[in-house]
Amino acid sequence: MNNIITIDGPAASGKGTLARKIADHFDYFYLDTGKIYRLIGLQAHQAKLIPEDNPDDVAIMAKTLSQNFDLTMMDNPELKSDLAGQMASRVGQFQHVRDAILDLQRHLAVHPPANKKGAVLDGRDCGTVICPEAPYKFFVTADQDIRAKRRFDELKLRGDDIDFETVLADMKERDDRDFNRSVVPTKPADDAIIIDTTNMSIDQAFSKMIKSID
């Protein structure tokens, strides 16, 4: 676990960008655990499963996915959609769904693909559940309004016809579920360094994080 860096935090906090930059900096493997939940969420949606009504079926699906997992699955552009994000948050509420992909995530962290010497894990429970022994743990956060504004700007840039209130309501719904679920609620590990990006640029946050790793 010596070469593992975990970066957890809520949606649109900047953790994904930071995790990718840090992985590039150290030439480590970057694992976006949210994408695995998004894959399960999309599969459930395509199978017309309502996660809250069929958690057992979703867990079976998650187990099958982890057994047949292939990194190219993560390249599916649909995984970036808001639908995939909401479905990911819904399937992630269930302990047996989370358990079904735990070994896969640990395996990728401890044996990073492409001969990489280490791994950066990005998600909600990387420092608390997946790799609690990782030597470097961060929790990246920012005020909810700021995160909603960032997501709104990103969607606008992509050409989506959406208003800020809808994005904010979506963010609230997802935060509520991710922070308050009874199973593995999103929270920093006891020894995580908190990075609040509300008034910080990505470059400022990046150098703060790198300094605490070097």
When CB distances to ligand DC are compared, the closest residue is 34
Judged by CB under 6 A, does residue 6 bind ligand DC? no
CB 62 within 8 A of CB 91: yes
State which residue, 55 or 123, has the beta carbon closest to ligand DC. 123
The angle subtended at Cα 163 by Cα 187 and Cα 50, nearest 5°, is 55
- Return the number of the residue (31 or 214) whose C-beta is nearest ligand DC: 31
Neighbour count for residue 125 (Cβ, 10 Å): 23
Q: How far is Cα 53 from Cα 96, in angstroms, rounded to an integer?
A: 14
With binding defined as CB under 6 A, does residue 89 bind ligand DC? yes
Residue 125 interacts with ligand DC (CB under 6 A): yes or no: yes
Is 37 a residue that touches ligand DC (CB under 6 A)?
yes
Q: Which of 18, 21, 108, 124 binds ligand DC (CB under 6 A)?
A: 124
Q: How many residues line the site for ligand DC (CB under 6 A)?
A: 14
Contact 155, 167 (CB under 8 A): yes
Applying CB under 6 A, does 11 fall inside the site for ligand DC? yes
Residue 112 to residue 97: CA distance in whole angstroms: 23
Tell me if 167 sits within 8 A of 151, measured CB to CB: yes
Binding residues vs ligand DC (CB under 6 A):
11, 33-34, 37-38, 85, 88-89, 92, 123-125, 174, 178
